[in-house]
Chain A
Amino acid sequence: MTKHIFACFILLLTPLTVTLATETKDTPLLIVWEKTLDDAVAKAKTSGKPILLDFFAPT
């Protein structure tokens, strides 16, 4: 009985592990962009990080 439960647990866990590993390797980390300078300055002051300002033109 214990063996059966353990086997089920492994079967359930394996796809989850593979999914997590795949996401870590292949999925890009999303950049959470601020939309206003005021918001960015507020977060920069709190975090101590500098701001990376990206001027873009929509394509």
Chain B
Amino acid sequence: MTYPDARVGGYISKNFIPLQINIQSSSGLAGKYRTFWTPTLIILDSLGTEYYRFSGFLPPDEFIPQLQFGLGFMSLEKQDYKSASARLKLVVDKYPGSDIAPEAQYWFGVSEYKATHSVDALLNAWKKIKTDYPGSIWAKKVSFVKD
């Protein structure tokens, strides 16, 4: 199970305000966030605005990287590129074998480009997807990039 894992509990407590809602008695909250299946995890900012979500059970080794990616993606959407790059890089560096790592590397490149307008930064990040995650869909998304 995911939540009883000490690493998961520690990660959530450190990084989030956890909110758990029973979908069967959510009094409109499931509708507000267009949720029809459980488990569905949604990252909201302090105003309650949604920035990232995923559904379905994940074991701790995938669950924590997903949450870390969600934090990075939220920073990216908020145009806080310094935070986005740090958070997304952490996914790749700390959880390189996770399924979300190649996507994190993709958006890390985007964040670096947005921050610096350096095409080289973008392409270098994307080339790393081709070498490190050649079998991922994210490698296909950057397959037009020349080596």
Residues from 27 to 59 in A contacting B, C-beta threshold 8 Å: 27-37, 39-41, 43-45, 47-58
Kindly list chain B residues whose C-beta atoms are within 8 Å of the C-beta of A52.
Answer: 12, 15-19, 41-44, 67
Of B20-28, B92-100, B115-123, which stretch is located at the interface? B20-28
Interface SS of chain B: helix, strand, loop or mixed? Answer: mixed
Task: Please name all residues of chain A whose beta carbon is closer than 8 Å to the beta carbon of B104 when the two chains form the complex.
Answer: none
Q: Is the CB of A43 within 8 A of B17?
A: yes
What sequence of 0s and 1s flags, for each residue 48-83 of chain B, a beta carbon within 8 Å of any chain A beta carbon?
Answer: 100100000000000000010001001000000000
Q: Is the beta-carbon distance between A50 and B44 smaller than 8 angstroms?
A: yes
Closest B residue by C-beta to A36: B19
B67 partner residues in chain A, CB cutoff 8 A = 52
Cα distance A43–B44 in the bound complex, in angstroms: 13
Complexed CA–CA distance, A44 and B16 (Å): 8
Count how many chain B residues have C-beta atoms less than 8 Å from C-beta atoms of the other chain. Answer: 38
Residue B5, interface by CB 8 Å: yes
Interface residues of A in 17-33 (CB under 8 A from B): 26-33
Q: Is B131 an interface residue (CB 8 A)?
A: no
> Does B35 interact with chain A (Cβ within 8 Å)?
yes
What's the Cα separation between A57 and B57 when bound, in Å?
Answer: 12
User: Contact at B24–A58, with CB atoms within 8 Å?
Assistant: yes
* Contacting pair B46 A45 (CB below 8 A): yes
Measured CB to CB, the closest approach of chain A to B3, in angstroms, equals: 6
Min CB–CB distance B10 → chain A (angstroms)? 5
B46 and A48 within 8 A (CB): yes
**Residues of A with Cβ closer than 8 Å to B?**
26-37, 39-41, 43-45, 47-58
| Residues of B that sit less than 8 Å from A by CB | 3-6, 9-10, 12-13, 15-24, 26, 29-30, 33, 35, 38-48, 51, 67, 71, 74
19 A-B pairs whose Cβ atoms sit less than 8 Å apart in the complex: A28-B5, A28-B6, A34-B18, A37-B21, A39-B19, A40-B19, A41-B46, A41-B47, A50-B16, A50-B46, A51-B45, A51-B46, A52-B12, A52-B42, A53-B43, A54-B18, A55-B21, A58-B22, A58-B24
